Structure 1
Amino acid sequence: MAGLARYEGSTGATILSTADAILDPKPPRKPFQRPSRRALIGIGSALALVAAVVAFLVIFDWNWLRGPIGRYASAQLQREVAITGDLRVHPWSFAPKVEAYGVRVGQPAWARTIDPDPAPMARIQRIAIQIKILPLLRGQMILPFLAIDKPDVRLLRAKDGKANWTFGARTSDKPLKLPAIQRFVIHDGQLRVDDRQRDALFVGTVDAQERAGERGGRFVLEGKGSLNKADFLAQVTGGPLLNISPDRPYPFDAEIRAGSTRITAEGQVNKPFDLGRLETQLTVSGADLNRLHDLTGLTLPNTPPYRVSGHLVRKGLRYDFEKLSGRVGDSDIRGDLFVLTGRERPYLEADLRSRRLDFDDLGSLVGAAPATGRGETASAGQQVEAAQRDATQRLLPDATLQVDRVRAMDAKVSYRAETVNAPNLPLRKVSMELALDKGVLTLDPIAFTFSRGDLKGKVRLDARPKIPRTDVDLRLTNARLEDFIPIMSDGKRAIEGPVMARAKLSGVGNSVHRAAASADGSMTVVAPRGEIRQAFAELLGVNASKGLILLLSKSDKETPVRCAVADFDVKNGVMTTNHLVADTGVVLARGRGTINLETERMDFRIEGDSKKPRLVRLFIPITIKGPFMAPKIGLDPSKAVGQGGIAAALGSIINPLAALLPFVTTGEAKDADCAGLVADAKQQGAPVKVTQTTPAKPKK
């Protein structure tokens, strides 16, 4: 019983204690223990340090740091930096704010080689910047606020590429990378950019702010002024910056106007604000592609007014202009191109096509004004140039080549035109491969495909010397005379037959006209056979009886062309005839004369001998004189030509033909009707042997 009582008693106590635990779950309180003296000292020291820091921040004069900050920045930027006004810090926030007044940044030492007493690179009345602390701990920099009041900034780039906005090893072409800015203000900014590498000078103002409007307002960055004395406006707009994040693309619209050039863009910065990673739909238009040099630094050809669009993607130092399309003058254009910067010279590579090329647009590439008639596209300046060309009756363009630009870029361009609009020319296709390397421009090959025949060759322009040198080597093969000679009023051709030619010239000068005016070399045109209206053959020597009668009767009787040669030596821009002979079935015509490429005038005299007896043997020499654009054909009645020189004339043509045909084209030399000439010469006593038709040393 006693044991049972003890069991019951202990069980009851357990039940009671369990019930107490359920009713009052708190553990029993430990007795209070006072902190140790060491702990109290530590806590007190920490509180004292915090209080001291707070007190220091409250009473500290931040202006004491202006000197150390200026000296540190000067050492890092390698130019004088000074804060001449107050330095204010507002640290009591998770987004502390710093304001600096009277900031001045000097020019680098090399700037004094351009200007002995240069103005500072920047004078800024006030800079205010705020930064979020918590994102910074995660490796993201977000600026809730950035304000720049009354900055006066002067940017300078020397001809050798040194730029005052680069520091240390950073290059001037390296893309700008800014943190995400949620409120950005530039108030009353003044900007001067003197880019002597591009020969570009901008003077104007810059402002940035949020503007109220539809969709809750827009951020607007605007610059306006003058670029090389032409009106300039650049405006970039985007959504409010408040909710911007480094992890989301920032969409923007942009418009640039520089004189007649206009650029519009609609795109996005993929990672705000890393300007080395962006893409946009871009449209560029203007009076002349060459004028884009001031904005882009690219050496582009002279063109008529243009408008092209495409998708632009920037990846660091590479720009891809994809699926570009549009018009240049009256020609369509499409293709792809890319540009690499950050090199000694920018590099451009393009693959371009035209479905239909308007041929006069191609002349703009060498400085010729395009056609200005009804339906033609030309700028106001090009219309003036065309009027001057017509007034002076000049054919060769005299626009000065910008050799500095040719030396400043490398390029590789492929171009094809599927069809060509070329009035009075049987031109069907154009293709060329262009390479620009270290100041040497090469077109190889350059090819013009006619309805019958091809003109192919190579053009090389060496712009490395002070005065550039141009070398030209062009061949015309498989062509037909009738394709290049206008139809007569009766709807028939005056002459028909194959023609081949070659021009090999070299000249110095910074325009097409000046290079031609100094050219040396040779030029040869050969018609190896064919048919000519007998009336015109008779008039090659002006047979006053036969030729005029045939013309008046509108006779279309033809006579064969057995061989015709026009061979010139070119020296100092003057083309002098070596041989000018045409052998027809009825008349053998010989001539001599010159073409002056500097004055663009010609002076020829052509005499003919009849190959058949005539009742009236009155042959009067023909003269062709005057400018290229409007030569005059006349007669020289002072001397009538009699028959009797046929044998000598035939002898004069045989040997030159044998030497000249391989120079013009080896493929067609065997087709020339020289055998008949040799036979005639032997019959008429010309001092010629058949073996003389084999050239000893043909032209190269």
Structure 2
Amino acid sequence: MLAATLVFAAVIVFLILFDWNWFRGAVGRLASAQLNREVVIQGDLRVHPWSFSPKVEAYGVRVAQPDWAPKTGDQAGRPMAKVDRIAVQIKILPLLKGEVILPLLAVDRPDVRLLREASGRANWVFGNPNAPKKPLKLPAIQHFIINDGQLRYEDKQRDIFFNGMVSSNEQATGDGRGKFVLEGKGQLNRSPFTAMVTGGPLLNISPRRPYPFDATVDAGPTHVTAKGDITKPFDLGRFETQVSVSGPDLNRLYALTGLTLPNTPPYKISGHLSRKDERFDFQKLVGRIGDSDVSGDLFVLMGKERPYLEADLQSKRLDFDDLGSLVGAAPATGRGETASAGQKVEAGQRDATQRLLPDATLQVDRVKAMDAKVKYRALAVNAPNLPLKKVRLDLTLDKGVLTLDPIAFSFSRGDLAGKIRLDANPKVPRTDLDLRLTNAKLEDFIPIKSGGQPAIEGGVMARAKLTGYGNSVHRAASSANGQVTVVSPKGEMRQAFAELLGVNASKGLILLLSGDNRQTSVRCAVADFTVKDGIMRSNQIVADTGVVLAKGTGTIDLQNEKLDLRIEGQSKKPRLVRLFIPINIKGPFMAPKVGLDTSGAVTQGGIAAVLGTLVNPLAAIIPFVTGGGAKDADCASLVAGARGDGAPVKVTQTTPAKVKN
């Protein structure tokens, strides 16, 4: 008995006097093997075993960078992490039930440097880099302290840089219970950044009860608030929260989320966000983007080679200029319109340069960084000067190829629908566009009235099939190749305007000035262009009316955004006095000028001969526009008229100096 007592006493004395620093090397080597990089404890290793909650303290802990880390620059020679002191306390009795509860986790003056290369390799990934990624999972912590933490985060893959401070502690509250506070602040991509997470007191935390929290994040002008619960503390792979997000542009959320979101006007959206492992669900999303409402559901799958987003969204009323932000166009900035400060500057530059096609650069790396499938519907549209009623977009993004199929706009009468495909994988991105306008009406797009009646009316159909190369809308248009065709198979227009297609000054001007509202038929009108290297060259521009046959030639320069068109008319009826002067339409898209060419003679040829030249072109043009399905698209009356009526009297006339009455 005495011997046993002496042995027990000797063990107690040994443990009391034992120097735990003898194990520093062994602990460092064990940690190095687990993390696959060097871990060193340079200071003391202290153990306090005589408790149901034993405590371990390590001083001067250093975790080295991986072998591939930069050997030059401001990161050279600096460890991934260095910590003045780490203190951990664990409860013994809950371990018997399989629960890990830490009464204390304290980290003094940590300096952590996180780095991810453009290839995606990251220094915070330990062990096998190809192993499935899992969300961070911490045990329940009853007292969590970070004193004077420094954090530097450089992500070359996502072009993100953060440098700031992190701290946490518990603060007293008015009810005497206290609250947990985790705070970070610094610079994110050269913009101010602050984040604060507050929660209930940690003292009574249990892994069997949800832990409530509130969070706010301000990243430059982007503001995020959240209120929810961590389902099982502190398994960060499972939580439920109500989130509100606002900012000048959804695209700026990339730094916070890693998701490639479209450019938008200022927005404010909210909804219920939940996480279950690598799946994030954002349900009952509601809010506004620009001057448009938006609602719906979406989810994101992480942990794959690329994040995957799927969404089903709709707007009860879409403000059409908000949609232009998707292709880099600044929204309208007039009174009552919503636009960020940067977008107002872009709009000013657009107006100053008189450019219509956006030149905002496509973020190619971001397009290739995720996959997506999005459905969007606008049930009503606010589009001044356009008879637009509904919008439908189905978008897929797969391995760097973005497809809109269909992209569809429903007008009061008629539809514009088709497919756009953008391949961001080549060195120079390629865009293919094929859009058709069907069953539309001219009077809806040319709302000019005379005496309460439309100045021109009738059906219209069109098709644009183009391929372009470049990383912006303007650059793709500047290199475009393909065909653009517009056809009006039959209709009516005010006779005065038909006479002016010439211009027949002796007839058209008199009718126009006198307010004569007589109508004449439009048997067929065609504008067909071949597009090569961004230049649209006319193949056929013809309008066959009851009184005048108008023909046109010219080009439309998509790169410089300029028009250069010429229209000449021939009367179908003999006139005692005729003055036919060609019309020139020249200048930038945003401000073209219409002028008369009075420089010389206009030769009046045979109408039938002119119409006859359209037989073969129409045979190719009409199927291109209609696909062979439209009943009234063959312009057959135009060709039949040429064959049946014969040619009127041919007159060659030199433009007189003055008009004689």
TM-score, with normalisation over the residues of structure 1?
0.90
8 Å contact kept, 2:606–2:647: no
Aligned to 1:271: 232
Unpaired runs of at least 5, structure 1: 1-39, 687-700
8 Å contact kept, 2:524–2:638: no
Q: What SS is found at the alignment partner of 2:503? A: coil
Is 1:130 the equivalent of 2:92? Answer: no
Is 1:175 the equivalent of 2:140? Answer: no
Within the candidate set 640, 644, 647, 1:678 is matched to 640
Structure 1 residue 64: Cα displacement: 1.3
Opposite residue 52 of structure 2, the aligned amino acid is F
8 Å contact kept, 1:452–1:479: yes
Within the candidate set 46, 59, 64, 2:22 is matched to 64
Aligned to 1:149: 108
2: CA distance, partners of 1:48 / 1:545:
131
8 Å contact kept, 2:143–2:202: yes
Within the candidate set 594, 597, 617, 1:636 is matched to 597
Aligned to 2:504: 543
Structure 1 residue 604: Cα displacement: 0.4
Opposite residue 641 of structure 1, the aligned amino acid is V
Is 1:499 the equivalent of 2:453? Answer: no
Is 1:435 the equivalent of 2:396? Answer: yes
Structure 1 residue 670: Cα displacement: 4.6
8 Å contact kept, 1:654–1:678: no
Map 1:528-539; keep pairs closer than 5 Å: 528-539=489-500
Structure 1 residue 225: Cα displacement: 0.4
Which deviates the most, 617-626 or 209-218?
209-218
Map 1:216-231; keep pairs closer than 5 Å: 216-231=177-192
8 Å contact kept, 1:621–1:640: no
Query: Could you say if the C-alpha distance between residues 509 and 669 of structure 1 is closer, same or farther in structure 2, counting changes exceeding 3 Å?
Result: farther
Within the candidate set 604, 616, 629, 1:667 is matched to 629
Query: Could you say if the C-alpha distance between residues 53 and 662 of structure 1 is closer, same or farther in structure 2, counting changes exceeding 3 Å?
Result: same
Aligned to 1:524: 485
Q: CA RMSD in A?
A: 1.6
Q: What SS is found at the alignment partner of 1:111? A: coil
Within the candidate set 199, 203, 216, 2:163 is matched to 203
Within the candidate set 103, 107, 115, 2:61 is matched to 103
Opposite residue 282 of structure 1, the aligned amino acid is V
Query: Could you say if the C-alpha distance between residues 584 and 74 of structure 1 is closer, same or farther in structure 2, counting changes exceeding 3 Å?
Result: same
1: CA distance, partners of 2:605 / 2:32:
95
Opposite residue 469 of structure 1, the aligned amino acid is R
1: CA distance, partners of 2:150 / 2:551:
74
8 Å contact kept, 1:621–1:639: no
8 Å contact kept, 1:618–1:640: no
Structure 1 residue 591: Cα displacement: 0.7
2: CA distance, partners of 1:103 / 1:429:
62
Structure 1 residue 655: Cα displacement: 2.3
2: CA distance, partners of 1:118 / 1:195:
19
TM-score, with normalisation over the residues of structure 2?
0.95
1: CA distance, partners of 2:80 / 2:633:
74
Aligned to 1:352: 313
2: CA distance, partners of 1:104 / 1:538:
88
Within the candidate set 140, 158, 161, 2:117 is matched to 158
Aligned to 2:254: 293
Structure 1 residue 86: Cα displacement: 1.1
Aligned to 2:195: 234
2: CA distance, partners of 1:503 / 1:342:
40
Aligned to 1:89: 47
Structure 1 residue 647: Cα displacement: 2.5
2: CA distance, partners of 1:140 / 1:53:
30
Query: Could you say if the C-alpha distance between residues 365 and 376 of structure 1 is closer, same or farther in structure 2, counting changes exceeding 3 Å?
Result: same
Opposite residue 106 of structure 1, the aligned amino acid is A
Q: What SS is found at the alignment partner of 1:473? A: strand
Deviation track 1:484-540 (CA, whole Å, cap 9, x = no partner) reads 013247554221000000000000000000000000000000001100111010000
Structure 1 residue 364: Cα displacement: 0.3
Q: What SS is found at the alignment partner of 1:204? A: strand
Is 1:392 the equivalent of 2:353? Answer: yes
Unpaired runs of at least 5, structure 2: 649-661
Opposite residue 46 of structure 2, the aligned amino acid is R
Hey, which of these two has a bigger chunk of helix by percent?
A: 1
Structure 1 residue 652: Cα displacement: 2.2
8 Å contact kept, 1:590–1:649: no
8 Å contact kept, 1:562–1:677: no
Query: Could you say if the C-alpha distance between residues 131 and 365 of structure 1 is closer, same or farther in structure 2, counting changes exceeding 3 Å?
Result: same
Map 1:435-514; keep pairs closer than 5 Å: 435-488=396-449, 491-514=452-475
Aligned to 1:186: 146
Quick check: which has more Rg, 1 or 2?
1
Structure 1 residue 680: Cα displacement: 2.3
2: CA distance, partners of 1:50 / 1:512:
83
8 Å contact kept, 2:330–2:346: yes
8 Å contact kept, 1:608–1:619: yes
Deviation track 1:650-677 (CA, whole Å, cap 9, x = no partner) reads 1122322222111100222554442343
Structure 1 residue 293: Cα displacement: 0.4
